């Protein structure tokens, strides 16, 4: 399946009504989020990965299977939104 992504990523990564079980992945050591590409890191939530807890677990399993470190932990969207607003002030 091919997915075509266009438009403003900030709109795609911010939900007015967060869905159940949706999370962002954060490295609490430095406060950076997993980039929406699934590789790399980003400050704030504008370009941060968002998905379900099942998808987050699959990303972690894939990284560990390749011997990659996995410093990220899932946080719910409300916590991510609060943290993002605190960093902007």
Structural domain count of the chain? 1
Report the distance separating Cα 67 and Cα 13, nearest Å. 28
Helix (H, G, I), strand (E, B) or coil at 59: helix
Asked if the structure places residue 46 within a domain, the reply is yes
pLDDT of residue 56: 94
Asked if the structure places residue 7 within a domain, the reply is no
Asked if the structure places residue 72 within a domain, the reply is yes
Report the distance separating Cα 7 and Cα 63, nearest Å. 29
Report the distance separating Cα 70 and Cα 59, nearest Å. 9
What are the residues whose beta carbons fall under 8 Å from the beta carbon of 56, sequence distance 6 or more?
A: 23, 25, 72, 74
For 16-72, the pLDDT digits (tens) are 455 567 999 999 999 999 999 988 999 989 999 999 999 999 999 999 999 999 999
pTM higher than 0.85 for the full model?
Answer: no
Asked if the structure places residue 6 within a domain, the reply is no
């Amino acid at each position: 399946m091919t997915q075509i992504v266009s438009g403003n990523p900030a709109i795609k990564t911010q939900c007015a009504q967060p869905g159940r079980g949706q999370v962002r992945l954060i490295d609490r050591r430095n406060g950076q989020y997993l980039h929406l590409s699934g590789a790399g890191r980003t400050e704030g939530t504008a370009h941060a990965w968002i998905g379900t807890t099942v998808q987050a677990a699959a990303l972690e399993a894939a990284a560990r299977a390749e011997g990659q470190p996995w410093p990220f932990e899932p946080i719910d969207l409300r916590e991510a939104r609060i943290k993002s607003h605190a960093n902007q002030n």
